[in-house]
Amino acid sequence: MVESTNFTDQTSVRGSDQHLRVVERFTREGPDALHYEYTIDNPTAFTRLWTAAFTMTRTAERMHEFACHEGNYGMANILRAARFGERESTRPR
């Protein structure tokens, strides 16, 4: 479990304010699955806390954390070129 507090008024999650509290839970569901759940608690911004969850499945693909590429405006072109290359490699000749 990871609990994050002490946000500033510069941080906004769907309209939250500096009283935001985020609780994240990571649960192993098997050798190839990780359940991720987070709860948003911000009584001065929302009428009640809310939770979202999803399962992450192991992949052999390379992954990059989004934060590592924040503001990396070249990334969009790099990904666009990669998708183009994938389409070309599967196109019948």
Read off the pLDDT of residues 10-59 as tens digits, 9 standing for 90 and up. 888 888 999 999 999 999 999 999 999 999 999 999 999 999 999 999 99
Domain count, the chain: 1
Give residue-wise pLDDT tens across range 62-71: 877 766 666 6
Which residue in 42, 47, 45, 8 sits closest to 22, CA to CA? 42
- pTM (whole model) above 0.85: no
Specify whether the CB–CB gap between 55 and 29 falls below 8 A.
yes
In three-state secondary structure terms, 93 is coil
In this prediction, residue 70 carries a pLDDT of 62
Which residue in 26, 24, 27, 31 sits closest to 4, CA to CA? 24
What range does the domain containing 79 cover?
2-90
Which residue in 87, 24, 91, 12 sits closest to 54, CA to CA? 24
